[in-house]
Amino acid sequence: MAVVATGFFDGVHLGHRQVIQTLVSSARSRGEEAIVVTFAQHPRAVLQQDAHSLRLLNSPQEKEALLRALGVDRVETLPFDRAFARLSAADYIREVLRDRLGATLLVLGYDNRLGSDCLGPDAIRPLAELLGLTVTVVPPTVKPAGPVISSTKIRACLEDGCVDLGFALFWYCLFMGVLLLLV
């Protein structure tokens, strides 16, 4: 049995860390394995025309190391291609998360989207419950007096030449992660 979070987790920023903390604490309290499901290719790199311009914040190896340092028991990296992208949210939850990985609880970020039907948390919850899974949704993480933190915003800042803000968000997330590891 496992508690599972799924997403790309580029940068493993503060918002991701909130999801991972919820994942790990839920898994520990239930006596289950904490699993992160991520993808070898960014979905945007496969599905959108501007795929060549996408620059990631960390390598797959760095991402896995960061996730494991936060207490994740296992990181499953799945290939993301056009065939995989055709899976509906129901098929993904049933075939991959429940049947293959033994998920009993799914931890989602507030803006998670699953499947070819791009279902958000409000639509995923009843679907997952029909399949026997419980769903926990983690609200957005807001930096004090700042924006909601996301990989997209960090990348956009860096790409637009707002190096100070982009690096500030990125390093803030890394710094907070190091503090979490020390506590």
Residue 99: Cβ-neighbour burial (10 angstroms; 0-12, 13-18, 19+): exposed
**Which pLDDT does position 168 carry in this prediction?**
52
The answer as to whether 169 is a domain residue is no
Total structural domains within the chain: 1
Q: Lowest-pLDDT range, 11-15, 31-35, 37-41?
A: 11-15
CB atoms within 10 A of CB 36: 27
For residue 72, the enclosing domain spans 2-140
Instruction: Write out 106-170 in H/E/C secondary structure.
Output: EEEECCCCECCCCECHHHHHHHHHHCCCEEEEECCCECCCCCECCHHHHHHHHHCCCHHHHHHHH
Residue 182 has pLDDT above 50, yes or no: no
Closest C-alpha to 111, from 47, 16, 43: 16
Q: At 181, is the pLDDT very low, low, confident or very high (cuts 50, 70, 90)?
A: very low
More confident residue, 75 or 176: 75
Specify the CATH number for the domain of residue 135. Answer: 3.40.50.620
**Which pLDDT does position 55 carry in this prediction?**
79
Q: How far apart are CA 29 and CA 6, in angstroms?
A: 19
The answer as to whether 165 is a domain residue is no
Q: Lowest-pLDDT range, 77-91, 106-120, 161-175?
A: 161-175
Q: Are 7 and 172 in contact (CB under 8 A)?
A: no
Residue 4 has pLDDT above 80, yes or no: yes
* Residue given tokens 């994942």 in the structure block: 23
The answer as to whether 180 is a domain residue is no
Q: At 177, is the pLDDT very low, low, confident or very high (cuts 50, 70, 90)?
A: very low
Q: What is the pLDDT of residues 96-126, one digit of tens each?
A: 999 999 999 999 999 999 999 999 999 999 9
The answer as to whether 171 is a domain residue is no
The answer as to whether 92 is a domain residue is yes
Q: Average the pLDDT over 164-180 and give the result.
A: 48
**Which pLDDT does position 40 carry in this prediction?**
87
Residues of the chain above pLDDT 90, percent: 58
The answer as to whether 167 is a domain residue is no
The answer as to whether 152 is a domain residue is no
The answer as to whether 176 is a domain residue is no
Confidence (pTM): 0.78
In degrees rounded to 5, what are phi and psi of residue 61?
-70, -40
